[in-house]
């Protein structure tokens, strides 16, 4: 039997603390070798929709699977297929838009915990969409944030975002009229855009800034200019290999030069303590978040387990005839 979980059921289960713990665990498992990861791949019919798919396995929790989704002018549709590592059974189908928002925010939360200065208390965010909301929520779990500046191109959207997030986080979130004002002299900077042109200039960055760059996951997109990348003392990515395929910020700096790509640390090495992250308060640190499948699978595994305990979701019967045939052969 396969458990079908709807978006509303996922929202009733998945909290930010749960997501933070699961995402940090996913990097620990990459580091110790108990998790396997395949980078995202994409199919695109010119002028039509994209199909995106990414896979991972987690021997520790006993789940493997893939996230598959489409993007088109009408929006995005996400689904996680979760299988048992032991039996190969499809144990769950999970609607996964909210999962993606939460695990992306959680990855930045973990990166902020490990890389931002201990006394970091101010945040600037560029982009005010759904992903921006979970970015601020996760960061507020990692540091005691006192105020936030938010910028996006649409004045009304950024004002609405600032008002709503001030209420949710119970800290001042102020809309500002320029990207520079959302970056200059702040402790933590987040970029959450779909821009093909840089939205952050290196000259705006103060010593000691930590950056979570989550938006550019196509080669032609980038959020940070070359000077911003050059000024970073520590550059880490959720997956260096996936970055080589889709992180426009880094691709446009490093190209095909494999020696230069060694500057990019796999984040699992920092999470596990194998490689140091920030070593002094003057360093500028960058976490390049592409979004990787192991985050989805570990989070989905926890959602599935909680849903079973609470008897949530709807049971589906798949491959019934083949199951009956297998049972008959066993007899």
Catalytic residues: 67
DSSP state, 206? P
**3-state secondary structure (DSSP) of residue 265:** strand
CA distance 265 to 31: 12
- Residues 223/195, Cβ–Cβ less than 8 Å: yes
Burial of residue 61, with CB atoms counted within 10 A of its CB: 0-12 exposed, 13-18 middle, 19 or more buried: buried
Strands annotated E in the chain:
2-5, 35-44, 50-58, 63-72, 75-84, 90-95, 122-126, 147-151, 173-175, 188-191, 210-213, 234-237, 264-266, 285-288, 314-316
Which residue's entry shows tokens 């199951």? 323
Evaluate whether 182 touches 203 at the Cβ level (below 8 Å).
no
Of the candidates 207, 191, 180, 201, the one whose C-alpha atom is nearest the C-alpha of residue 120 is 207
Compute the distance between CA of residue 79 and CA of residue 227 in angstroms, rounded to an integer: 38
Decide: residue 121, CB within 10 A, 0-12 exposed, 13-18 middle, 19+ buried: middle
């Amino acid at each position: 039997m396969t458990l079908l979980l709807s978006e509303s059921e996922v929202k009733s289960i998945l909290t930010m603390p749960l997501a933070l713990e699961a995402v940090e665990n996913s990097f620990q498992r990459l580091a110790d070798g108990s998790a396997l990861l395949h980078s995202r791949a994409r199919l695109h019919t010119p002028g039509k929709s994209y199909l995106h798919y990414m896979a991972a396995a987690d021997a520790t929790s006993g789940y493997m699977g893939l996230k598959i989704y489409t993007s088109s002018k009408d929006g995005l549709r996400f689904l996680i297929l979760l299988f048992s590592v032991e039996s190969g059974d499809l144990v769950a189908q999970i609607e996964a838009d909210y999962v993606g928002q939460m695990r992306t925010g959680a990855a930045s939360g973990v990166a902020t915990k490990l890389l931002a200065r201990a006394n970091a208390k101010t945040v600037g965010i560029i982009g005010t969409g759904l992903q921006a909301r979970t970015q601020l929520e996760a960061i507020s779990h990692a540091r005691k944030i006192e105020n936030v500046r938010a910028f996006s191109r649409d004045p009304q959207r950024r004002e609405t975002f600032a008002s709503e997030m001030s209420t949710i986080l119970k800290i001042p979130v102020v809309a500002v009229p320029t990207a520079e004002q959302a970056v200059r002299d702040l402790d933590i900077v987040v970029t959450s855009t779909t821009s093909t042109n840089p939205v952050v200039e290196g000259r705006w960055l103060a010593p000691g800034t930590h950056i979570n760059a989550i938006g550019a996951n196509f080669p032609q997109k980038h959020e940070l200019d070359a000077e911003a990348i050059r000024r970073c003392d520590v550059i880490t990515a959720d997956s260096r290999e996936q970055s080589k395929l889709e992180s426009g910020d880094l691709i446009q700096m490093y190209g095909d030069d494999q020696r230069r790509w060694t500057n990019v640390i796999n984040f699992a090495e920092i999470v596990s303590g194998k490689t140091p992250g920030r070593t002094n308060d003057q360093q500028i640190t960058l976490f390049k978040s592409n979004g990787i499948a192991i985050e989805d699978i570990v989070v989905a595994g926890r959602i599935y387990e909680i849903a079973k305990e609470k008897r949530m979701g709807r049971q589906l019967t798949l491959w019934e005839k083949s199951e009956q045939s297998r049972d008959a052969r066993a007899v």
